[in-house]
């Protein structure tokens, strides 16, 4: 429910932002290059999307590295456990003593 309310709030804020920033702008580059006029909110929204994409890609790269490192450490842990088990003496369970059948008891006189 909270996600729906938050989504509705963000849509309202975004629509208000677009409505308030409809001024036409032209970007001027070096050597006299100019862009065609376009609304200011398109520049700002494009910048936000580009920043979010760059942030996502950097975070994804870091997560990928950490996942690989975790996988390598897990394999090393298994190898070390196997080495420890091979170095420890095998514990043999004591064999149960043979029981005499109950019907064959001989009375002691």
Task: Tell me the pTM.
Answer: 0.54
Q: Is 71 exposed, middle or buried (0-12, 13-18, 19+ CB in 10 A)?
A: exposed
pLDDT, residue 52, reads: 86
pLDDT average, residue stretch 1-14? 87
Q: Where are the domains of the chain?
A: 11-87
Tokens of 45: 């929204």
Cα 70 off chain centre by: 12
* pLDDT tens-digit readout, 48-103: 889 889 989 989 989 999 999 999 999 999 999 999 988 888 776 666 666 766 66
Lowest-confidence pick of 15-19, 33-37, 38-42: 15-19
pLDDT attached to residue 19: 84
């Amino acid at each position: 429910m909270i996600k729906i309310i938050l989504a509705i709030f963000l849509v309202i804020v975004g629509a208000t932002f677009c409505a308030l920033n409809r001024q036409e702008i032209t970007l001027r580059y070096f050597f006299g290059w100019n862009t065609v006029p376009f609304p200011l909110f398109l520049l700002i929204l494009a910048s936000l999307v580009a920043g979010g994409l760059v942030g996502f890609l950097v975070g994804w790269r870091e997560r990928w590295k950490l996942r690989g490192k975790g996988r390598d450490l897990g394999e090393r842990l298994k190898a070390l456990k196997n080495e420890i088990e091979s170095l420890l003496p095998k514990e043999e369970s004591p064999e149960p003593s043979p029981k005499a059948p109950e019907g064959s008891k001989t009375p002691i006189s």
